[in-house]
Amino acid sequence: MGKPEITQLNVSQTEYDPSLKTLLLIHEDDLSPEASSLKDLKPDLLLVAADRLTWRDLDFTENKVSWLNEALADAHQRAARAFPEATIHSEVLTLRANSLAVFFDEHNITQIVMMRPDIGYLQTRLIEMFEDIGNQKINIHYTDREEDLQIRSLATAGFFGFWKKLIASGVLPKKVPK
């Protein structure tokens, strides 16, 4: 018996409401919001958040943690230039449901916009956190990369099946350059 087919090809999406007080949340799976589909967003507040607790739990090496921290700090600086009308939170915040709930409440946030992490520990952590925070009546709007939307329907089985479908669809070349 083979592995079950992946059936969640289309991911639900909440509607972005420009009238709500909006926080742009930048995370380690989105280090270039100024070059993404978020670039035209007019957020009220900008926050860079890191999943440092999971990094620790997964025993990330010191070098990897250092690189992630530097990359997030760089993303923070670039986002501050790209979204000059937003109030910029001055530090990279560790992702924790209780601290984020307090932050959202203190700043009267009614909508959070971020790039959708499709898989992995960050996606899991965000789902858990926003379930915990859900009673605050905050609209969570995930934005998908256009290239992710184009190939998501091809991801129905393991890696090699996905790779073959990418080649057959013309997304990848038939031969990998040497």
pLDDT tens for each residue of 41-74: 899 999 888 888 888 888 999 999 999 999 999 9
Residue bearing the bigger pLDDT, 178 or 130: 130
Mean pLDDT across 133-152:
76
Asked if 177 and 147 touch (Cβ cutoff 8 Å), the reply is no
What is the CATH T-level fold of the domain 22-144, as seen in this structure?
A: Rossmann fold (3.40.50)
Q: Which residues contact 59 (CB under 8 A, 6 or more apart)?
A: none
Asked if 42 and 87 touch (Cβ cutoff 8 Å), the reply is no
Residue bearing the bigger pLDDT, 153 or 36: 36
Bridge-based pairing of strands 22-26 and 111-115 is parallel
Residue positions counted in the chain: 178
Domain locations along the chain: 22-144, 146-178
Mean pLDDT across 83-95:
78
pLDDT band of residue 38 (cuts 50, 70, 90) is confident
pLDDT for 61: 95
Asked if 95 and 130 touch (Cβ cutoff 8 Å), the reply is no
Mean pLDDT across 108-117:
88
Question: Which runs of consecutive H residues, i.e. helices, occur in 83-145?
Answer: 97-106, 121-133
